[in-house]
Chains A and B, each alone.
Chain A
Amino acid sequence: MLTQQKQTVAVGLSIERIDGIPKVTGRALYTRDIKLPHMLYAKIKRSNHPFARIINVNCSKAQELNGVKTFVVGKDFAPMSNEDTPPLARDRVQYLGQAVVAVAADNLQIAERAAELVEIEYEPLPALLEPMLSMSAGSPILSPGLNNFRNVGNYLHIIKGNVNDGFSKADLIIENEFSTVAESQFQMEPLSFLARPDTDGGVTLWATSSGTSKVKYEVSSYLRLDPRKVRVLITFLGGWFGSKEENHLSAVCAALALKSKRPVKLELTRAETMTASGVRHPSIISIKDGISRGGVIIARAIRATYDGGAYGSLGNLMVKNAVMTASNVYSIPNFEVEVYRVYTTRVPGSAKRAPLGFQMAFAIESQMDSVARRLNLDPVDFRLRHVLRNGELNSMGEETIGMSYEVALSKVAKEIGWKASEPPLEYPWKKGKGIALAAKWGYSAPNQASVRVNADGSIDVFAPIIENGQGTYTGILQLVAEEFRIPVEMVNIASLIEGSSSEWGIGTGARASQQMANLGPAVIAACKEAKRSIAHVAASALGVDETDIAVEDGKIYSLSKPSRQMKIKDVFIQGSILLGSPIYVPPHGHGEFRGSSTYLKKIGHFDPKNGQLEDGRASPYYITVAQAIELAVNIETGNVKVMKVAAAMDVGKAINPELVRGQIEGSVMMGLNAALSEELIFSEGSIVNANLADYKLLTSLDTPEILPFILETPYEQGPWGARGAGEASILPTAAAVRNAVYDATGKWINSLPITPEKIVES
């Protein structure tokens, strides 16, 4: 596949995205757009305590309101075996803002009033707002957690070599502590859900969620329903970034619909969305390096503590992201990383673009600069001295394959004018440059797709693709157009009309940048199978063996005798239904010309003793990212003006280069936000800035010149060699900013965000 010489018709071209015009003209369908007859509106009553026992829930006053239809509470839901987050709190609340009761009423005003009238009696408990406190002996147990550690939801420990030996042989020890804060994903579209009770006793759900299968199986388990009876449709999403990983609210909405026997709409406000989506895990990461006289890191020990908040919320599963980030990029003979995810009584830590790895990359790439500067070494040269070469084993014992650390780093350094001497800026502005390098892990989970060939040569694609703005509808369409070598207009992505359906097969959805790398191969395999089904029928007509047949550009022809060919239409026969125009169907006895496939790549497990990989790989592939940033610091006010960002990302193959550049630019902006501005501020467990005036986001006016560079080192199993593109470019940004601020001011800021105040006061 990778050696194909023919010029492509779709892959690698920046074709216009198919959802572009529907979106800018307002025709694209979002969950909030959908209304059903006799629909009720839901509202959630939330906890106003960070930690409390629920003594009593009294809905009687609310019940008396005219128009109130039904309530659901925590005990209406079954616990889920692999997830500890209850859709509604059961016996106690573990964070401020946790959902406790949901009400459905004739309209939103009545539902809101009813939620106000619900009376919940609490017995407040002392809140555990800091991970260190929560881990300490004597703290109340927030979750059964792990046996050895109090309130630790997951712990991973990777050991390579012997760090203590390494430290004792080192000539210099440099140790730093880095910290990051909670951030919201702050996608444009607040969370929305719609549930319709169905005639078979099941439910159809429209949900702002990351994946159809995820909702189907989680909701069926929370509601003890047969999964066959939970159908899920996911329309366009107005941004995602990890905000829609959890489906507790899908279950709440479904429960209200089943109980009231009416469709129910649940729409969260912005402030509720910021709580319900979970937050980027705050973290404290300390790194200790032992350095030889020659200026080489010979030992590194990392200890990372992530504040997981009140529940698992996928966070426990994501601990390995931190480990994979720490174990790649650099070759260090003696290495150890310990990662803890700790329960506290705060909003759960959940996914946000490159979850847990983002924090780790900030710490490591900051440490690399601190060490290089201390040794009076150039940060680029210092990194190049340590990067893993292809073929070398990383700290987990995984072979380094297809990485482009040197190329990426050198490219961005050159573009930013790394060693160029430039005239100073006018007082009080000082210029600085910073650089950072990282590797983003991949992900493996099952994905299914099917395609149908129509008589006019067009192709219908049925795959649970999630389009959250990244452009995957378009990317998948390009794969199909290429496989059949037809114009992109001849491919119909069924999801474009009403969203993706859980009934089209298993879909892992938009998470971990996995759709192109994992769904893409399933789509291509489905196309090949559909072509075989045509070849099977065409073989006798063409008088050749079916393996000798190609289906391309609307034609079916013999590979050995290309003059023997027919149109796709010729494998269909004409029929009619009453007075309608002629229709074309496959011959009697044949099914649709269809193909379907499943893609699932096996990945390995960590040895619980030393964290080394027991078999295979921790990640099917990694993505190299490097960034160099030029900025100016106002040394009087501490304001930072980012001027230029050179960003390289190795995506294996850019199926649509323009969309990949969009992902790089979006990631860089989100990274700059995390570096300079974003922070959810808590007071006694309550978010005090859950609005856009106080939760400060950079805007287009703060956007620097971004130079995206696409590198293409193929990933053998990827479609056309493609890896993911959605998250990786956020990894280096914050450290590159921090390193550039040092270059400008001589101040190391080791905590995010790097606010003007920190720069002035440090």
Chain B
Amino acid sequence: MFNPIELRKPSTLLEAVSDLATYGFDARIIAGNTALYELAAQGGLDDVHILIDSSRLGLDYIRSGTDGRLHVGATTTFSQLAKNKHCLQGRNAALGEAASRISPPQIRNMGTIGGSISIGLPFLDMPVTLLALDAEINVMSKDGRKTIKIDDFFVDYFTTALNPEDLITEIVFPEEDGSSEKKEEERGGNSQRSVGFSAFIKIGRTTVDFAVINCAVCLEIERHESKSKSPLVEKARVALGCVGNKPIRRRDIEALLENSELNRATIESAALLPVDFEPSPSIHASPSYKKKMITVSVREALYTLLDRMNSATPIS
């Protein structure tokens, strides 16, 4: 039975990582990990005796850094994400969309971005979104700071690249206008910079539900001045949740999209690429239904992105 005996309330990151170093597996951070209660109910926290409150660490922020990247503190709530303009547009739109689809409002007010990736559950909405957005996870421990790329972060069911003494401090999202190589080109006078768009799609049974399939797609397209031309995809990241032990990328779809013009034909062929793996069954959905929903959600995400690109103001 879950029976914590001590609540620690560190007010600095150093105190927090020192507590983690001292107690290791004996301790858990309370940071809006919305699965903690269920984990406790199933006996998954029977060995945990110390809880560490992360609410005084000053990690609830969303800011555009001097590096041009978006920095989101680990204890930023879904409600904050759902209403922050940086998370509602352009390359990070999927972040706000995913946050606003998490229900009900009570969960959005308590659940945090760091908490929801730390548990390593493949069906939550944040992991798949961060995977598509190519986020980086900044982590601190008593040994110092490190950065984990999202592609390396999720390891298995309930397992991430975090060590027991690690504390997620922030999640960092790439620049709005794509990769750093592009920036080099821009400095070289090339105006053909890329621009990013993203979308999040969730298929559940009821309004307040975990996803049966969730899908996040981020496309970086060549910036162009004319709307008459279909956008040219430079880089694609297509991520799916609820299909296995961790969120995955559909590299076959990404490969099809990259260097293609995004139009109806491309979208249909991308969505209809055969799902050549067996999604894990759950009590909520069979693999066969999940396969169909993968197609539906990828298609919907791509059409949403095409709409967004077409309605975005071309920047000269």
Contacts and interface: CB of A to CB of B under 8 A. Distances in A.
B266 interface: no
Interface stretch (A85-93, A197-205, A211-219, A691-699): A691-699
B289 A761 contact: yes
B81 to A, nearest CB: 19
B206 A677 contact: yes
B11 interface: no
Interface stretch (B132-140, B158-166, B280-288): B280-288
B296 A698 contact: no
Interface string B100-114: 000110000000000
B278 to A, nearest CB: 16
A701 B38 contact: no
Interface in A657-697: 676-677, 681, 688-689, 691, 693-694, 696-697
B292 A699 contact: no
Contact of A701 (B3, B103, B283, B292): B103
A636 B285 CA distance: 15
A384 B3 CA distance: 62
A390 interface: no
B33 to A, nearest CB: 14
A237 B38 CA distance: 26
A760 interface: yes
B285 A757 contact: yes
A637 B288 contact: no
Given A637-B203, A637-B293, A691-B38, A696 B286 contact: no
B1 A699 contact: no
B255 interface: no
Secondary structure call for the B interface: loop
Given A109-B1, A757-B289, A760-B289, A689 B283 contact: yes
Contacts of A761: 286, 288-289
Interface stretch (B20-28, B184-192, B207-215, B306-314): B207-215
Given A112-B1, A636-B296, A691-B41, A696 B206 contact: yes
B42 to A, nearest CB: 9
A762 to B, nearest CB: 11
Secondary structure call for the A interface: loop
B205 A696 contact: yes
B284 A694 contact: yes
A717 interface: no
A757 B286 CA distance: 8
Given A109-B1, A109-B3, A699-B206, A760 B292 contact: yes
Nearest to A689: B283
Nearest to B300: A636
Interface in A741-762: 755-757, 760-761
A713 interface: no
Interface size on A, as a range, is 20 to 34
Contacts of B285: 757
B283 A639 contact: no
A699 B208 contact: yes
B201 to A, nearest CB: 10
B104 A681 contact: no
Interface string B179-205: 000000000000000000000000101
Interface residues of B, number: 24
Most buried by B among A112, A697, A757: A757
B286 A701 contact: no
A702 interface: yes
A693 B210 contact: yes
A756 B103 CA distance: 19
A756 B104 contact: no
A699 B104 contact: yes
A704 to B, nearest CB: 12
A753 to B, nearest CB: 9
Interface in A298-343: none
A259 B285 CA distance: 49
B285 to A, nearest CB: 6
A699 B207 contact: yes
Contacts of A694: 283-284
Most buried by A among B206, B209, B284: B206
Contacts of A760: 289, 292
Nearest to A428: B296
B1 A701 contact: no
Contact of B38 (A639, A676, A677, A693): A693
B292 to A, nearest CB: 6
B107 to A, nearest CB: 11
Contact of B205 (A109, A677, A681, A701): A677
B206 A702 contact: yes
Contacts of A702: 206-208
Contacts of A688: 283
B206 A698 contact: yes
Contact of B283 (A109, A681, A756): A681
A694 B35 CA distance: 13
A698 B284 CA distance: 15
A701 B283 CA distance: 23
A699 B104 CA distance: 9
A701 B284 contact: no
Interface in A332-389: none
Contacts of A639: 203, 205
Given A689-B283, A694-B284, A701 B203 contact: no
A755 B286 CA distance: 12
A755 B284 CA distance: 9
A701 B104 contact: yes
A109 B209 CA distance: 32
Contacts of A636: 296, 300
Contacts of B284: 694, 696
Contacts of B300: 636
Nearest to A636: B296
A611 to B, nearest CB: 40
Interface of A: 109, 112, 636-637, 639, 676-677, 681, 688-689, 691, 693-694, 696-699, 701-702, 755-757, 760-761
9 contacts: A109-B3, A637-B296, A677-B206, A691-B41, A693-B38, A699-B103, A699-B206, A756-B203, A761-B288
